[in-house]
Amino acid sequence: MATIDYYFSTLSPYAYLAGTRLEAAAARQNAQINYKPFDIIALFGRTGGTPPKDRHVSRQEYRLIELERQAKKYGLKINLKPAHWPTNAAPASYAILAAQAAGGGDLGALVHGLMRAVWAEDRDIAEDSVIKSCLESAGFDASLADTGLLAGAERYAQNLEEAVKAGVFGAPFYVTQDGDRFWGQDRIEDLEQHLAG
């Protein structure tokens, strides 16, 4: 079975705009997704990226235009100035990692649910109640938000190291088992074509 290492931040608007298209493509190509949330600000510092707030005003303005266009294209609601962004992405990421280890629910729905909470619902994904609600909505036990915090923290840090080693410099970023890389939610179709041979 083919695998896709999916590197993302729960705070990335572009990862949110991917919706569940990655999961649909993986299902069609019989591929397994390895969800790898990581600290994107730390990644920027390691790979020469610039956080949005530090970019030139022209880049900041165009980013908002493009986010609105892409949201409209894919039929997704988006708040360009969410109430809780940025926030601490680590707790939600730890919950994703705990859910991936536990199994039994829909991991893609959990990931998208957490990002939708940020970008469409003005909820703070650093809050336990929001994380637990997203876990339950995706078919997981809400108590996963309280377990495996140490393991989650270690895995979260490890994901950053693996991302840098794999050549990742943004989010969302998809790396296939043969090492091919695809950056951005607008490359999911290319990723699927690659998986299809």
Question: What mean pLDDT, rounded, does the chain reach?
Answer: 97
Mean pLDDT to the nearest integer, 173-187: 97
Give the DSSP letter of residue 37: E
What is the per-residue pLDDT across 111-156, written as a single tens digit (0 to 9) for each? 999 999 999 999 999 999 999 999 999 999 999 999 878 899 999 9
User: What is the CATH number assigned to the segment(s) 2-196?
Assistant: 3.40.30.10
- DSSP state string for 134-171: HHHHTT--GGGGGS-HHHHHHHHHHHHHHHHHHT--SS
Question: What proportion of the chain, given as a percentage, has pLDDT over 70?
Answer: 100
Residue 48 pLDDT: 95
Average pLDDT estimate for 66-72: 98
Is the distance from CB of 36 to CB of 7 less than 8 angstroms? Answer: yes
The pLDDT of residue 180 is above 90: yes
For 190-197, what is the mean pLDDT?
A: 97
Q: What is the pTM of this model?
A: 0.96
